[in-house]
Amino acid sequence: MYVVSTLLPNDMYDRVITSITKAIDGKVMHNPQPFSDSNICYKDLSLDRVPALTLRFTGADVEVPPNNMFMEVQKGVSCLTIVPSYQDFGLLGTLFQTNLMVGFDLIKQKVYFKRTDCTIR
């Protein structure tokens, strides 16, 4: 599976990373994957220690659960899929959007978010 990282503007990225790493309170390790964007990885990470992240948009809040922020890149090593954009824009990556239905109202120019179970049965 190819995962597109979530890009956050630098100031927002710094605040998010500070909050997440403080909450996890574990030793950050080097990413074992070459050419990977993520530099925040943990060995044997328990997602119970990771807080949910709430993205606040005008008129909508989207809660991102821990399993939508970290990806196991090799056995026992999980890396954060949030990276700085180095520009003043953000992009919700593919993992962030897992089990999230996104609706677009083109007339009202609004975007809607709804958590859902997208499991194929």
| DSSP letters for 36-79 | -S---EEES--GGGSPPEEEEETTEEEEE-GGGTEEEEETTEEE
Domains with residue ranges and CATH for the chain: 6-115 (2.40.70.10)
Percent of residues, the chain, with pLDDT higher than 90: 42
- pLDDT tens by residue, 14-26: 999 999 999 998 8
Q: How far apart are CA 70 and CA 90, in angstroms?
A: 18
- pLDDT tens by residue, 36-91: 677 889 999 999 989 899 988 887 888 999 999 999 988 999 999 999 988 888 89
Residue (of 69, 62, 14, 12) closest to 45 by Cα position = 69
Mean pLDDT for the chain overall: 87
Statement: residue 29 has pLDDT above 90 = no
